[in-house]
Every structure is written in C-alpha cells, then in structure tokens.
Structure 1
Amino acid sequence: MTDEFDVRVGDRTLHAHDTGTDAAARLALVWHHGSPQTGAPLEPMLAAAAARGIRLISYGRPGYGGSTPRPGRDVASSAGDVAAIADALGLERFAVMGASGGGPHALACAALLPDRVVGAVTLAGIAPYTEEFDWFAGMASPGALRAAREGRDARARFEETDEFDPDQFLPADWAALEGPWASLGADVGRSEAYGPGGLIDDDVAFVSPWGFELDAITAPVLLVQGEHDRVVPAKHASWMLSRLRRAQLWMRLDDGHVSVLDVVPDAMDWLVQRA
C-alpha cells in the first residue's frame, strides 16, 4: 500500500508516492521512472522493496502523472525536485534508482546531492549526449531523439506523427511485459492521459547539457545494461562506466530494454549493502 501526496516546489506541484514511514526500514529508495510513465510505483518494485524492508518513494517528473509541466527543464533539475520530496518526508539520506529515461535523473541526484545519496543504480539508462562515439548507433528508432537535437519545437512536431516501433523490443522484452512487468505496460498506457509533454521534455533534456558531469558523482553507482538493448544501446553503459569514479557494470548478455528490469531485486540488495 502506498500513500499519494503532492509537494509544492515554488509555483509547481510534484505528485509523489510513498510506501510508508516504518522506522525499521533498512533503506529509503527514490525510484525514477522511465519515459513515459506516471511515476506510480510498479508491482515488482513494491514486492522487491517490501521483501527487503526498503521504503520506496517515487514521483512523476514534471509533465508526468499529475506533476506540473516544466518545459525547458534539464536533467539536473530533478535533484532539486527530489530534495523537496525528501525534505517533505523528513528523509536525510536515501538511495536512488532509475530505469531507461529515469537513469539520468537518478545520476543527477547522486551528482548534486552528494551528502544525501548513498548509492545509485541505473538500468538501461541513457548516457549524456556526446560525439565521442556514435551516440545513436544501435538504436532501433532514434527519430525522436534526433528531432530533440533540433529543439523542443522540432521534437513536438515529430510527436504528432510518431508511432511505436515494436522492433525496439526483443522477445525477452515482450515476455517481461506479458509477465512480471505487465504493470509497466499498463502504467505507460495510463500516462497517455497526461499528454506527451513530459516525454518531449525528457528527450530534449537527454540530448542537451545535463547540468552536471559524471565524474562529479562520488557515491557508488551500479550500471545495469542488456547487451542487446535496441532502445539504449550497450555502448552507453560502457561509456559512462569509463567516466564514473566508483562504478560497476552488470552486463546482461541475454537482456533487452525491459527484461533487464528482472535484476531490480539484486540491485536493491546491492544498494542495501552500501547504505
């Protein structure tokens, strides 16, 4: 069971979720959702957290799940939002975990809240845009991100005709969506009610300067990556590994973009050991 609540940040509202205030919780963990989702905690996350005595907090980034849109936001801005939520809950220290589009935002918290974040995990997380390698290589459908490189207006125009490409997912991804991660697909469907603004702003933020450098992160970081991911190619993880101070990479040889989420329980154990 989770509580839903709103947090005011200036003239904006963030819609958040919290599994409770159990004083015996071994760790507080802030979850950063993928793009697009609502920010509501997913069933496998809740089950894994409960089994480990972890307090799970999640929220909708601006434009998602009832949180006020914030066009022009950068990746770094999520750190201030998470700090506001943590302050509202009385949390001094916590871990962060993000999947896909949530990965960069988890790293932002680790970089910009160094006295509060005890560890970070990204699963299939996208890397900062760079020309040091072919950033788009291996993406089955890079059109949205290429449009985002031209600015928000271009990304919004692309959204008007964009259609989901099923070839982005491996058979293992489809099996995950039909099985243990069915709640993820359902949440993506619910996110449609809030419009495409959050997704557009995410994409523009990903291909723009993030507002921090990876080597500024002093907390331990775990990168989890599916070797055959067609949404966020494996090169993104290996490139980030070379620039993070205290990072490990778990390369999943048979996983794609969704099936890699099966590692969430193990990743939670990794965070608990560093709390």
Structure 2
Amino acid sequence: MTLHVPAPDGRLLEVLLSGPDDGFPLVFHHGTPQAAVPDPLLERAAAERGLRVVAWSRPGYGGSTRRADGATTATVADDAADVAVILDHLGLGEFLSVGWSGGGPRSLACAAVLPDRCRAAVCGVGLVPPAEYDGDIRDGMGEENVAEFTAAMAGSAELTALLEDYAPGVFAATAADVADSLGSLAPPVDRAALTGDLAEVIAATFRRAGEQGIAGWHDDDLTMLRPWGFSVKEIAVPVAVWQGTEDMMVPFAHAEWLAANIPGVHAHFAQGEGHISLFASMPTILDDLLEIAGLR
C-alpha cells in the first residue's frame, strides 16, 4: 500500500506499508540514491516476526517533495522529524528503526531525536557524522564514492555536475546490469550477491530514486556532510551497528568509529561481507533488533 502523507510545510512524503496491520512498526530508511520500493527480502523477514514495515522516500526521491532548504541547511535530524509526521498520520506511537547505507544516519537520528518513540535502531553499513569524525570520511572508499564526496565537499555546483554524469547509468539500471553500474563500489562478494530478488530490488530503487532527477541524491549528500543536528555520542536508545569487512562504499573504519562512540552500542562486524551482501542477513538483523528493544 502506497500513500502520500502531508507534512506541515506543505510537502508530501511517500510511504509504503506492508505486513500485518497490527504489527509493531518497523521504519525503514533506504540508501543513497534510492527510494521506497517493495522489497521481498525485508518484507518477508519482517512479516515473519510480526512487524509492519513503514518504508518511506526521503525528500527529493520518488514521490516525496524536495525540501526548500535541502541544498542549503537541512539536517539529518530533519528526516527524523519527517518520520514523526508519518507515524502521527498513521496513528502509530513506538517503533523500531532500520537504516541501510545512506539511511543509517537517519536511523541514528530517530534514536537521538525520538527517544521516547524509537525502541531501538539499526545502523546498517552507515556513514559516520563528518563533523564528529576524527579522520577523512573518504579513506577506504571506492573511487566513485571518493569522487562523489570530494565533489560534495567542493559545493553544490561541483556535485551537480558529477551527479548529472553518474545519473544516467544509475537511474536506468536493470537487475542484469546493476552490478556493473556500481563499478569499483561492488567488490566480488557484492557482485555475487546481486542476483534474484536483491538485484531486482536494488535496480528498482535506483530507478525510483531518479523520478525527480538528481534532487534527492544531491540533497542527501550535502545533508550528510553538514552537522547532523545531534551527536551520536549522546544517543541513549539501544543501537546496533552492522558492517561488512569488504565494504567499498562505506569503509569498515566508519563502523569501528560508530561502535567506539555510540553509548552501549551492539556492534556486529561480518567478516567477508560487503555493503550489499550483508543485507541478506536481514532475518538475523531483525532478530537482534527485537532482542535489544526488549520485544522478545
């Protein structure tokens, strides 16, 4: 079921619901550049555990209206505020949060900004907050991500030019060629994982992300580079960090830093797994999330 939730500033937020109507809410934050699409792997694992998936497209992606300040001052914490709007519209209170890749910071934002509602959160293969990190976030990334974040650090014009060059290959991806579209960002373990439903979903979410051109992608990158609007060092909600050692999109060092700086974190470091292959562990990830949330 797809709906469009009105935000107080007049924007519309695209939301996909799946699973039992009376299931405990699980908010899913997609990666960058992606948007909310049906995801059999996530939805099946969630339904088997009695969870109702609330997936949403961030501003500028899919059918979600771009923020007026997305390119200038929007923060990661603003995305948690949008989650609260969605939950209020649906009449939902407490929830669990899972974020993957670019969605990882948004999941951490839910834990930080909505501590009275977010029972526990997962940051899966997620970026560190650059304003708090004591290194260069690009160290260890594949060449495409190094180029992307270098352009983002240079400013909107430079980032726009680079993303307009990248966009045609990414936004037109099919299941058959999605691995090639990732270039050096997909090591052998991730290329091997990009088959069946997983390849179909990733290609679909790339295509859906481009419904408004590069708007969401552009704003996502710049938002993640700014101060996030909260400190991960002050999170009091249970958080699990999941990371594969072979990840070329978000370096393993990011997960090590998050594990060292988020209070009480539950760190899961998967030897031999990549950025994409680790997603196949979603049943285990959800079991762990329910455990740390005190829901089983």
For residue 253 of structure 1, what is the aligned residue in structure 2?
271
2:205 to 159, 182, 187: 187
Residue 18 of structure 1: how far off its partner (Å): 1.2
Structure 2 CA distance, aligned partners of 1:216 and 1:232? 23
1:13, CA displacement in angstroms?
0.5
Which residue matches 2:34? 37
Partner secondary structure for residue 5 of structure 2: strand
Give distance in 1, aligned partners of 2:14 and 2:208.
15
Give me the whole-angstrom Cα distance separating, in 2, the residues matched to 1:148 and 1:171: 27
Choose which of 51, 70, 73 in structure 2 pairs with 1:54: 51
Q: Distance in 1 between matches of 2:263 and 2:285?
A: 19
1:205: how far off? 1.1
Q: In the alignment, is residue 11 of structure 1 matched against residue 15 of structure 2? A: no
Residue 116 of structure 1: aligned partner: 117
Q: Distance in 2 between matches of 1:6 and 1:47?
A: 23
Q: Which residue of 2 aligns with 1:156?
A: 160
In structure 2, give the amino acid aligned to 1:50. A
1:147 paired residue among 128, 132, 151: 151
How far apart, in 2, do the equivalents of 1:117 and 1:41 lie? 23
Runs of 4+ off more than 6 Å: none
- Deviation digits for residues 167-201 of structure 1 (CA, Å, limit 9, x no counterpart): 11112211222134122223212322331110111
In proportion to residue count, which structure has more helix? 2
8 Å Cα contact 1:177-1:185 kept in structure 2:
no
Q: Which string of whole-angstrom CA distances, capped at 9 and with x for unpartnered residues, describes residues 9-38 of structure 1?
A: 121110101125633x2x210000011112
Q: Is the 8 A contact 2:19 2:51 kept in 1?
A: no
- Residues 1:176 and 2:193 aligned together: yes
- Asked if the contact 2:244–2:271 (Cα under 8 Å) also holds between the matched residues in 1, the reply is yes
SS in 2 for 1:232: coil
- Give the drift of 1:134: 2.9
Contact 2:76–2:109 under 8 Å retained in 1: yes
Offset of residue 165 of structure 1 = 4.7
Stretch deviating more after TM superposition (192-201 or 128-137): 128-137
Q: Which shows bigger deviation, 159-168 or 107-116?
A: 159-168
Using the TM superposition, give the Cα deviation of residue 160 of structure 1 relative to its aligned residue in structure 2, in angstroms. Answer: 2.6
The answer on whether the counterparts of 2:245 and 2:273 sit within 8 Å (CA) in structure 1 is: yes
Does the CA contact (< 8 Å) of 2:164 and 2:214 recur in 1? no
| RMSD (CA atoms) | 1.5
Cα distance in structure 1, aligned partners of 2:188 and 2:110? 33
Aligned residues: 271
Amino acid corresponding to residue 69 of structure 1 in structure 2: R
Alignment partner for residue 205 of structure 1, among 219, 223, 245?
A: 223
Aligned position for 2:66: 69
Contact 2:20 2:51 in 1 (8 A): no
Counterpart contact for 2:142–2:249, Cα < 8 Å:
yes
Q: Is the 8 Å Cα contact of residues 7 and 15 (structure 1) preserved in structure 2? A: yes
Cα contact 1:28–1:54 (8 A) shared by 2: yes
Counterpart of 1:167 in structure 2 is 184
Distance in 1 between the 2:204 and 2:262 partners? 34
Stretches of structure 2 lacking an aligned partner (at least 5 in a row): 170-180
CA–CA separation in structure 2 for the residues paired with 1:89 and 1:160: 36
Following TM superposition, by how much is the alpha carbon of 1:60 offset from its aligned partner in structure 2, in angstroms? 0.3
Cα deviations across residues 63-99 of structure 1 (Å, max 9, x unaligned)? 0110001123221111110000000111110010010
Amino acid at match of 1:146: T
Kindly indicate whether the alpha-carbon contact (under 8 Å) linking 1:75 and 1:105 is maintained by their aligned counterparts in 2: yes
2:25–2:53 CA contact under 8 A, matched in 1: yes
Determine if contact 1:75/1:211 at 8 Å carries over to the other structure. Answer: yes
TM-score by length of structure 2 reads 0.87
Q: Secondary structure at the match of 2:229?
A: coil
- Contact 1:99–1:124, Cα closer than 8 Å, also in 2: yes
Residue-by-residue CA offset, 1:138-181 (whole Å, 9 max, x unaligned): 10121111111122222112223236551111122112221341
Query: Do the aligned partners of 2:37 and 2:204 also contact (CA within 8 Å) in 1?
Result: no
Deviations 1:99-119 (A, max 9, x none): 000000111111000100000
Residue 251 (structure 2) aligns with:
233
Distance of 2:264 and 2:105 partners within structure 1: 16
Gaps of 5+ in 1: none
Q: Are the counterparts in 2 of residues 120 and 221 from structure 1 also a CA contact under 8 Å?
A: yes
Residues 63, 211 of structure 2: 8 Å contact kept: no
SS in 2 for 1:160: helix
